[in-house]
Amino acid sequence: MLIDAFSWLMVILILISSGAMLIGKDWRIQLGALAMQYLAAFWLITRHQPFVVGSAKLVTGWMIVAALGMTRLSLPETDEDQPTFGPESRWFSMVLLGIIALITAGATPRIEAVIPGLGLSVIAGGLLLISTGLIHLGLTSEILRVIISLLTLIAGFEIIYAAVENSILVAGLLALTNLGLGLVGSYLLLAGSTPTVTDLEEDME
Amino acid sequence: MSAPAIWIFVPFLVGGIILFFIHERFSAAIGGTIAVLLSLSALIFPIDTALLVGTVSLKISASVQILGRSFIFSTADGPLLAVIYGVAALWFFGTQASGTANRFVAIGLMIVSLLTASIAVEPFLFAALLLEMAAMLVIPLLVPPYQKPKRGVIRFIIYQTLAMPFILFSGWMLAGVEASPGNIGLTTQAGTMLGLGFAFLLAIFPLYNWIPLLTEEASPYATGFLLWALPMFTVIFALDFFDRYAWLRTSPQLSSAVQFAGVFMVASGGMLAATQRHIGRMMGYTAIAETGLIILAMGIKSAEVVHVTFLLLIPRGLELAVWALGLSIIKREAFNLQFSDVQGFVRKYPIAVIAILAAHLSMTGFPLLAGFPSRLALSQELASQSLFISFWTYAGLLGLLIGALRTMAVFVMAEENSGWVVNETWIQAGMLGLGVIGLFILGVAPQVLQPFISRLPALFEHIGQ
């Protein structure tokens, strides 16, 4: 009972972090939300998988957040005003979050009926993350936000997939995939942003 | 020694060593030689069969266990491994001539080894994860550290990442379909998820928009390698699905959907290629049309499905390598590959231009070139099944031919008094020359592939037998 209640608390954490991810445009808020999502994913994964597998997910996730954060920190800040109208506006994001929450509430019992034994909280958490990832992906073309969206989507998928597939190899490969995606994100953020050796030599001349 | 250790771990390790310890000047030679050795060893040493060398008995064991799951190669995998590493060797030797990034050979070896692992992993569904990891390794090849990433590469990584969950989850659902084949709802859901997964992976219409973008913005050689490697292994993965699940093979709806997707790609790719004014994008659209042909081959209702599919896949590696090498050489001077920038280039880079045109014509199915026998075989199969599909396939191929003729016209539009010079280095000329000769050999004597192709159906228990 207490475990169930805690699982639902994690679902609420996912909802809050999804909101922060969609509404907050600052990269620090986005990465903070991602870190929170990994904490919730850790708990929901351990409902069906051993503690070690869940903690591997948590550690990998936080490593990715750290890598992306350190990369972004090394880049110059850009001042972007929050638009008041259109897909980038705060109100639009809040409406989208509401739609995601409604769809999740509607779909969760139906999925539980099709695949019994997953657990309502696990399905709800997974669906919330998948929907947030997809919606976020549709709203942005900025590299950091695209990578965060993909990581969110995969985290949601992993929560549900962990309930049906308990292979350690899959857990390991998924962790590597997440880590790879984080590193690809860091690489793409850095690509073209730092002067090459030749540029520096030209400047000195 | 086990087969997965030789054909997966060794190339991955060598790739790592080249990346960190070997000077770029030697990387092409070392990587190419390793790939050739792996190809020859796959051809010479049978897997899981004792071989007597003098008084010593040698046996390459078939499998290795990692984290409770197996990586297995059977005896039937030998010819496939020989083809994979043989074509990979061509790409690696070509890097020296193309002047591509020094990391190409190292990362390329790692990519090929990961993709090879996708053939060996059991349960085979986990291949989706290995394909995703290989796709991520391609990124440093597509975006050099000094260049800002553009739309094409972002779309590529998004689509490849979206494919993975669809395929993994559909695989789990397919097990349920096998247990209760009468459940129409579950079957439809599993089929839709599987279709979406492969649509993302194989860049099926309309999800192929990243290909022309990439061929425009990234290095042609790296993009060409990507357009060879990923579809090749994805097709093998898809054939595995057809082989394992009886309802996928027998479903008329799925067969129609596969053929429709294929013909749409051939027709749209061909027609769009005919209207391009950028020779990089031209290669992209031609590759799209050829992927369509491969999908069409996978959908034919015949025992020849494996033969025809591999007859298309194997020359594709050579065609794209020659084309991409030619483009890389020209791009060094032209920078932008717009028609206006490469006008009259036949008098400056005659060998590169001839190679590009030969590869382009080969992919349109021009007689005497490598693409002709496979298109002939596919046409025979299609003509007996659907005239509608045959018509649109030819319409697509006609579009590719128009594209080739337009490219040729642009290349020969030189100023009247400009002289002929050969600007290619001897390595470039040699590599391109060998590639073009290879295209002619595969076109005139396609039976040279027979020793490989005749043994490939053994890879699949149910299809093509």
Say how many domains are in chain A: 1
Cβ neighbours of B154 in A, within 8 Å:
141, 143, 146, 188
CB B145 to CB A194 under 8 A? Answer: yes
Q: Which residue has the higher pLDDT, A106 or A91?
A: A106
Interval A120-165: pLDDT, tens:
999 999 999 999 999 989 888 889 999 999 999 999 999 999 988 8
* A108 and A159 Cβ atoms separated by less than 8 Å: no
- Radius of gyration (Cα) for chain A, nearest Å? 18
Q: What is the pLDDT of residue B176?
A: 77
Whether B144 sits inside 8 A of A191 (CB atoms) is: yes
pLDDT of B172 reads: 83
Identify which of A143, A165, A169 has the shortest CB distance to residue B67. Answer: A169
What confidence tier does A119 reach under pLDDT thresholds 50, 70, 90? confident
Do the Cβ atoms of B133 and A194 come within 8 Å? no
Mutation target vs B (from A177, A194, A201; most B CBs, 10 A cutoff): A177
Domains of chain B, by residue range, sit at 123-459
Per-residue pLDDT tens for A120-129? 999 999 999 9
Nearest C-alpha of chain A: how many angstroms from B149?
Answer: 6
Task: Tell if the CB–CB gap between A154 and B133 is shorter than 8 Å.
Answer: no
Q: Do A193 and B165 touch (CB under 8 A)?
A: no
Look-up of token digits 């049309």: B289
As a three-state string, the secondary structure of B294-344 is HHHHHHCCCCCHHHHHHHHHHHHHHHHHHHHHHHHHHHHHHCCCEHHHCCC
Q: What is the distance of C-alpha B361 from the center of its chain?
A: 18
DSSP B121: E
What is the model's pLDDT at position A5? 87
pLDDT > 60? residue A198: no
Distance from CA of B395 to the nearest CA of A (A): 34
For residue B190, the model assigns a pLDDT of 84
Quickly state the pLDDT bin for A79 (edges 50, 70, 90).
low
Q: In chain A, pLDDT over 90 holds for what percent of residues? A: 50
**Which residue spans within B335-396 are E strands per DSSP?**
none
Chain A nearest C-alpha distance from B99 (Å): 18
Residues of chain B with C-beta less than 8 angstroms from the C-beta of A172: 67
Search chain A and give the residue with CA nearest B166.
Answer: A157
SS3 state of residue B348: coil
Q: Do A191 and B147 touch (CB under 8 A)?
A: yes
Mutate to test the interface with A, among B72, B102, B136 (most CBs of A within 10 A): B136
CB < 8 Å to B146, chain A: 191-192, 196
Cβ neighbours, 10 Å, residue B43: 17
User: Which of B67, B149, B168 has the CB atom closest to A172's CB atom?
Assistant: B67
Query: Is the model's pLDDT at B366 over the cut of 90?
Result: yes
Q: What is the pLDDT of residues B119-163, one digit of tens each?
A: 988 888 888 999 999 999 999 999 988 888 989 999 999 999 999
What mean pLDDT comes out for the span B227-249? Answer: 89
CB contact under 8 A, A192 and B148: yes
By CB atoms closer than 10 A (0-12, 13-18, 19+), residue A92 is middle
Which has the closest alpha carbon to B263: B402, B360, B390?
Answer: B390
Radius of gyration of chain B (CA): 22
Write down the pLDDT at residue A197.
53
The residue among B103, B112, B114 whose CA lies nearest residue A176 is B114
Question: Helices A27-45 and A120-139, interaxial angle, to 10°?
Answer: 150
Distance CA A151, CA B441 (A): 47
pLDDT above 80: residue B426? yes
Q: Fill in the DSSP letter of residue A124.
A: H
Q: What is the structure's pLDDT at A72?
A: 92
Is A10 a member of any domain? yes
Q: pLDDT value at position A112?
A: 87
Instruction: Say whether A177 and B132 touch across the interface (CB within 8 A).
Output: yes
Burial of B13 by CB count in 10 Å (0-12 exposed, 13-18 middle, 19+ buried)?
A: middle
Q: Closest chain B residue to A147 measured between Cα atoms?
A: B158
- Give the closest residue to B32 by CA, choosing from B87, B82, B93: B93
Shortest CA gap A128–chain B (Å): 15
Q: What is the domain range of residue A54?
A: 2-74+86-188
Q: How many residues does chain B have?
A: 465
Residue B23's pLDDT band (boundaries 50, 70, 90)?
confident
**Closest Cβ opposite residue A164 in set B137, B154, B172:** B172
**Category of B419 on φ-ψ map: left (φ > 0), alpha (ψ -120 to 50) or beta:** beta
| Contact call for residues B349 and B424 (beta carbons, < 8 A) | yes
Are B8 and B120 a contacting pair, CB within 8 Å?
yes
| pLDDT > 80? residue A201 | no
Alpha helices in B202-219 (DSSP H): 210-217
Does the distance separating the beta carbons of B158 and A193 come in below 8 Å? no
Give, rounded to a whole angstrom, the gap between the first and last alpha carbons of chain B: 31
The model's pLDDT over A32-75, given as tens digits with 9 standing for 90+, comes to 999 999 999 999 999 888 898 889 999 999 999 999 999 999 88
Query: Which of A44 and B186 is assigned the larger pLDDT?
Result: A44
Nearest-CB residue to B161 (from A150, A183, A188) = A150
Average pLDDT of chain B to the nearest whole number: 89
Res B379 pLDDT > 80: yes
- pLDDT for A195 equals 61
Q: Rounded CA gap, B167 and B165, in Å? A: 6
**CB distance A191–B143 less than 8 Å?**
yes
- Give B276-327 pLDDT, tens digit per residue: 999 999 999 999 999 999 999 998 888 888 889 999 999 999 999 999 999 9
Q: How confident is the model at residue B96 (pLDDT cuts 50, 70, 90)?
A: confident
Counted across chains A and B, CB pairs separated by less than 8 A come out at 93
Q: What is the pLDDT of residue B98?
A: 82
* pLDDT tens string B327-343: 999 998 887 889 999 99
Residues of B in contact with A137 (CB under 8 A): 158
Q: Which residues of A touch B144 (CB under 8 A)?
A: 191
The confidence band for B189, taking pLDDT boundaries of 50, 70 and 90, is confident
